[in-house]
Structure 1
Amino acid sequence: MQYSERSLKADPVVEKLRGFIQEGDYTGGDRLPAERDLTVRLEMSRTELRKALDALEREGMIWRHVGKGTFVSDPCEGNAPDALVQLGRNLTPFRMMRARLVIEPAIAREAAINASGTDLSNMQRAMERTRSATTWAEYEEQDDQLHRHIAEASDNLLLVSLFEHLNHVRRAVAWGSVVRATTRPAASHTSFSEHDSLVQAIASRAPDAAHDAMRMHLRSVSDRLFGEA
């Protein structure tokens, strides 16, 4: 597989894993060996391996599904991450939110049908971390993790991949026009209760309620950012 050159300073650990993937017979959708096997093959510690996996996931070269493994991304006509970044640069934050309103409620519906106990634990942990966040950046990171865990709970690799593509575009959107009035979410931040309702619906195996809770949550976010959507 061919991926474009990265402008960031090369990290030997990251490049070692990148080389392993590029030189191996891996194509889009292939699952990489388990972490314990990779640490032996690449002669690196578990900490080093996870650092490299995190870096390549941010680039879009791989994606991970909790409980199922790490998968090689499909470049799709050259370099999918680069194409998605370019798409994001040409998309307004408002249009990004409209796309999320179409896609993520359907994913939440599937999560309510298929979520495992591990999936629910991951969601709960992410929710707790959003509440303890001391900055907006920390909150948004954990909010992103919560939505990713919901996608993973769908138990559908295509939906997880769709979510990851959506997320790549979301990160590239110019959010500079969005101004925060505080340095961190207030204890009364409405997303906290919205997250609670969403995860409760998923845990209760209520697909319609999960769909509606996700849509209500995203509409609330959109309204706070842009006014009525």
Structure 2
Amino acid sequence: MSETNALADQLRKMIVAQKYGLSDRLPPERELCQAFNVTRHQMRTALALLEKNGLIWRHVGRGTFVGPRPVLNLEEVAYLSELVSAEQIVTVRHSIEPELARLAAENANKSDLVRIRDCATGCTQAADWRGYEAWDTNLHLAIARAAHNKLYLYFFETLNVVRRGMVWKQTRTTPGPAQDYCSFEQHESIVAAIETGDARRAKKAMSAHLKSVYARVFPEMR
């Protein structure tokens, strides 16, 4: 493993260990250089690699953020959030995400598959609900990116931002997901289908997963 790849891997592990979520800002480059005892050039090269892989994005004057670079007009999304209901979000997710899973099974490359599998593993290893939800968000995003359809990705990201701004009626009775949490098996079905290129099964598995999730949030919608 090259020096750059090794540092990038250390940074990725730090993001996981410290439970940074999607769009969270990382410490300044100066602090990262001190923490990892590297030069500014070495740090920027490693960050550039993570950015290339869609794990972070950087904005001059604002900092470095977790996740892919947003392509949305956030003012418009905020306005949209005021107009839609939770039920409408559920309906649109059921329309978009199964199709994204189907396209991912057809179009995912090796790097996409590694990222999807890493996110699914992150879900099962999360120590608490906050960590699980961050990894779950990243998993669905990784699948959307693996579809390699920019228009669908734009719709998905818009939906995702609106969804994350909604208050959901889900009561947590444990500190984190149990080892037999139902979504783990559902995630595995989706990921396995994408890995084997089974588009029909991937679409069906994603649909079943979303129905299960929202049956817990909105029992009346069963």
| Number of aligned positions between the proteins | 179
**Structure 2: gaps (5+ residues):** 1-25, 30-39
Letter in 1 for 2:143: I
Cα drift, residue 93 of structure 1 = 2.7
Residue in 1 that maps onto 2:209: 217
Cα drift, residue 166 of structure 1 = 1.1
Tell me the TM-score normalised to structure 1 length: 0.67
Cα drift, residue 52 of structure 1 = 6.4
Contact kept, 8 Å, 1:111 with 1:150, in 2: the verdict is yes
Cα drift, residue 47 of structure 1 = 7.2
For 1:156 and 1:208, the matched residues in 2 are separated by: 18
Contact kept, 8 Å, 2:170 with 2:216, in 1: the verdict is no
For 1:106-125, list aligned pairs within 5 A: 106-125=99-118
User: Aligned in 2, Cα 1:193/1:47: closer, same or farther, shift over 3 Å?
Assistant: same
Letter in 2 for 1:93: A
CA deviations over 1:52-101 (Å, ceiling 9, x no partner): 62877979xxx83xxxxx5x735xxxxx2122123224433333222111
Of 142, 154, 165, 2:158 maps to 165
For 1:52 and 1:214, the matched residues in 2 are separated by: 28
Residue in 2 that maps onto 1:196: 188
1:141 equivalent to 2:134? Answer yes
**Structure 1: gaps (5+ residues):** 1-10, 15-38, 65-69, 75-79
Letter in 2 for 1:200: A
Contact kept, 8 Å, 1:94 with 1:222, in 2: the verdict is no
Q: CA RMSD in A?
A: 3.2
Cα drift, residue 174 of structure 1 = 2.2
Identity among equivalent positions (%) equals: 31
Letter in 1 for 2:184: F
Cα drift, residue 48 of structure 1 = 7.6
CA deviations over 1:148-200 (Å, ceiling 9, x no partner): 1101111122222221111111111122x322122211111110000000011
3-state SS, counterpart of residue 53 of structure 1: strand
